[in-house]
DNA sequence: TTGTGTTTTATTGCCTCC
DNA sequence: GGAGGCAATAAAACACAA
């Protein structure tokens, strides 16, 4: 906040204000007081707006030193700026007369004020953008975490499946899973909801129902679902493999859907006796 | 008291508009 | 071409820590 100090100019007999910079308390210490005294000697404070508006007086009384505007002057300028931040010539002249300043000073003040406003506006815009960005990052992080969690679930379940395959009981066979032709990104999540009877061997046939062209699960150490030909089925997607994911939880569909169908007696990939 | 950083006032040079 | 705006900058005034 801007603050000021009342000051009496003995040479002119007029009261005046010494403007202090922002954030300062009214009385600060010896140095400030000394400055007032020094200033009163150095600065020929304006006596009246009429005098100050006089070009000759102004030139004589303001040698090389800059002087700060009084709080009253600044207040009025601020009010005027709030009303309209551009200064048409007529208003400039009126303001100058009213404030006892040169029109040029008023114009300069408006120019500098516009520059300050622009800087502040940039800061505000930056803050807005930053908070927006931060919330997006936060959202992205939580989605990423969920994705990782689901991935590890997939890995865990795949390992369990492989373990069961190695022990050989029960015999898990696969029959007629349509290969996914298209790019995984273009294919809606396939829950691999092949009917149970299509996947398990019949009691009598031993593993006879395995499709001849299909993958031979029991002979292979690899998981059937990791076969590249069936990318939509329980495959583990690498981190770099974007584009087919689009931030959506593809694997959750693959896993959750069979559970949803569980009670309907359909669509589980495997059934243990 | 002094050095340093910040704010305010003012200047300069360039650009646009009428 | 003159008036006015803007960006960059200088310089004075001021705040403040050490």
Q: Is A237 exposed, middle or buried (0-12, 13-18, 19+ CB in 10 A)?
A: middle
The answer to whether A68 and A5 are in contact (CB under 8 A) is: no
CA-nearest of A74, A240, A83, A265 to A151 is: A240
> Is A109 near strand B, with its CB below 7 A from some atom of it?
yes
Distance A73 CA to C14 C1' (A): 18
Residue A134: pLDDT band with limits 50, 70, 90 = very high
Q: Which chain C positions come under 7 Å from a protein C-beta? A: 3-8, 11-16
Q: Which of residues 4 to 23 on A have a Cβ less than 7 angstroms from any strand B atom?
A: 19, 21-22
* Residue A229, pLDDT score: 29
The answer to whether A20 and A35 are in contact (CB under 8 A) is: no
Crossing angle of helices A89-99 and A71-83, in 10° steps, is 160
Considering only CA atoms, name the residue closest to the C1' of nucleotide C8.
A115
Q: Which nucleotide is nearest to A21 (CA to C1')?
A: C14
The vertex-A200 CA angle with A195 and A206, nearest 5°, equals 150
* Residue A84, pLDDT score: 92
The model carries a pTM of 0.47
Distance A114 CA to B13 C1' (A): 19
Residue A50: pLDDT band with limits 50, 70, 90 = very low
* Residue A67, pLDDT score: 85
pLDDT tens digit sequence for A191-220:
333 333 333 333 333 333 333 333 333 333
Neighbours of A268 (CB within 10 A): 19
């Amino acid at each position: 906040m801007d603050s000021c100090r009342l000051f009496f100019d003995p040479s002119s007999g007029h009261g005046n204000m010494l403007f202090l910079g922002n954030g300062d308390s009214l009385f600060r210490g010896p140095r400030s007081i000394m400055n007032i005294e020094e200033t009163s000697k150095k600065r020929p404070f304006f006596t009246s707006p009429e005098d100050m508006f006089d070009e000759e007086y102004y030139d004589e009384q303001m040698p090389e030193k800059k002087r700060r505007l009084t709080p009253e002057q600044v207040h009025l300028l601020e009010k005027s700026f709030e009303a309209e931040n551009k200064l048409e010539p007529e208003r400039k002249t009126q303001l100058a007369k009213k404030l006892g300043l040169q029109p040029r000073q008023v114009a300069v003040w408006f120019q500098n004020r516009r520059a300050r406003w622009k800087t502040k506006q940039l800061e505000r815009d930056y803050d807005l953008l930053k908070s927006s960005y931060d919330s997006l990052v936060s959202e992205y992080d939580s989605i990423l975490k969920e994705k990782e969690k689901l991935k590890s679930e997939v890995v865990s379940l795949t390992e369990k499946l492989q373990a069961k395959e190695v022990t050989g009981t029960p015999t898990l066979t696969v029959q007629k899973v349509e290969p996914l032709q298209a790019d995984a990104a273009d294919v809606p999540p396939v829950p691999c909801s092949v009917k149970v009877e299509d996947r398990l061997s019949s009691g009598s046939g031993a593993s006879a129902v395995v499709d001849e062209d299909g993958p031979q699960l029991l002979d292979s150490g690899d998981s059937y679902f990791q076969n590249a030909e069936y990318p939509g089925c329980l495959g583990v997607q690498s981190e770099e493999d974007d584009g087919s994911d689009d931030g959506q939880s593809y694997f959750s569909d693959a896993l959750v859907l069979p559970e949803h169908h569980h009670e309907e007696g359909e669509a589980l990939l495997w059934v243990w006796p």
